[in-house]
Chains A and B, each alone.
Chain A
């Protein structure tokens, strides 16, 4: 099957190259037939790559170790769920996933726009196929997913234990979907610039893809944060790691873009800004992909050093130079059709919010690339840590959240004093009351930034609530419906508007969770024996007993902990450290079961008020003499097997392996029968759960904004306004 896989990649590469040629020839010389053929090449590419991806997945599910990628990233003991996801834990498999997703999303975009943007679409097709060709070239010449091994091993190395987490099933596909979906507005922007079709049509046609990209990338980022919180064993969800930052960059500029295109769509303004934003977002998406793969910056999430850096740098260089060149070349066509009516208008709020989001992106970019910048300037690689990021990010994020509450209250074109009175009084009062109420909460003002931020969040939530309430009342006034029906009706008819408002509310909740959980967190590192306790933020955490489990996949050493407050039981926590066997036989027959990679299972009691988080780090040093004795005993036994007659040797080896498994289990049991002190980290974080609740609300809002209105309802609404305007036309014609 590997041969078929390799051949399919070559076929796909040829199809992608043909797609570029046919689309460009059709656009500039040959006519619609070539354009249609180029578009079909994208569909065909999606079909061929689906087959190739299916072959790789089947190889993983069947544990076919003749595939190098399967032998090095899976094993027979890997659970089926993780065998399926192991495909994208490898450099090779993830590149194939990237290009496959690109082909699928491109096909969808071109199918939906086949009767629109007729001049722009062929150039966009060529751009999308250029991306596909680039990634296919990498899978054919640099990181081959269908490479086979001359000597097929009986067992694979297994999946990296840190990746055995449900969030990892969806985190990479969501991130890649975000990156590849951002390629679509990027490609259409290039098409619009080349063909000088820079009005509203290309934006209307690709707006939904920009929103889908924002949504997928956001979900991917949050899943990564959740994985970090519950799997990595350090107790945080965001570490300003270069790879984390790389995914945040296009998300920030993409957020700015999906706001500012509304101004271009309505007023024909900000064309240079929007073109630059979408081109920057597309380039940053590729930069993010490059950072994960090149190994130029140290990160726990990266694939490590590789030979992919140079090709990526060439692509990114071409994207940057091409983008800047195109915007400069078409600057006359990008002139604004209108001017800003007032500095107190929704357009102005969007513009300010855009500037802040781009400033945030710049801070993240600078901090991420500072090691490279410092090395280039001083010859010494220096990096900046979380305090540096916090210093600049916190005030900017504060202002962005405040604007997300102000924006919904401000009408388009101009704001009057009367609208300020009508809109701002209630949210302003809520903010004030919240800030003053926190004075009464002991310790709340110990972190003034968090207390002020709570006030801003109250402002946002009340402004969004007020908008929903007023929308519902307006609907009730015209349709005489019960409140829930009226609310559903007004939201259904204005999904973009109210979906956006829900996103603002969710994002404010998310950042409130971040602000409070990081400002008021209590953490303690202790070493405890069973029966001993530690006190953290008023909670008594007692190490009740040690646990051990020896399975085919791993050996787990853990603890059961009892959490009480003022004598009342609060929670029982279970945390384990899993040790995966190493393939390195030099560690000994018993020792290799404790010498491979390890991962943590966090003990977590999540609550609306606070999370109680713990992780164990059992010290296995006391086991080393026993492990060494076991290694010697079994080494002698293995030599002894050589003296057994050949016909009985297999049976003797099987018995020996059974004894070895029993010995490994017994060694692990020592952690329970003769427990020694184990290291624990305890963290109590207030409102941490609201980070995930806020994220869910944000993405539900995004989904609401993305969801298309039924065609019939859309036509009915448009027809009403069309009739009014047409009457106006008739009057002016007389």
Chain B
């Protein structure tokens, strides 16, 4: 609105009319509560820049972000735990996992995304955009790489701790195979501290996926947020921040559920 006010071609009359139309002449608390009640009823307002209801804009994008982050999250946790299990079995692999995770955790996401993009052509993968499964590969790699080293680190520490417990020795003495001890006895107990990290991982991935979406042209809410900031559509930015908070809340809820499922003690 201040941009319009600075424009000499817009008359004060038009400005006053616009203010009236969008309710900008109302006091702040009234504006806030009308916004709140609209949001509660699913009306996110209207984007001035895109000239479309914000709800439509976000609805078309949010599932792309959920898809990207969901797959990246799943892959980071599954691969992270699998690598830690393998590393617990073989010392040499453990060293390799250490070096790789240290390198990976030190790589800025933007750099990784850029390098992956540079590799897209030689690998025959699409550069940006959305479509089939092939389009997902690079963004998912870039996003999940943010959390993979963290999982490896914590899972290895938790497994190390669990493997030192007396019940492991008991199980081994009773003749349970190494693999079974590792998966059924050590991992089961190591999972418990890891579930506390789940909510954190959702937050980290959402943050990392914003630059990745921008660089790789993935049409999610991260890219939309970036565009909205550049086009100065403050309402859209605000609603998108709220949606990202909702996604984070959903992730935390999922984390609590997983903790409940993985730990029998919580169910009693």
Q: Tell whether A and B belong to one assembly.
A: no
- Residue positions of B touching A, CB distance < 8 A: none
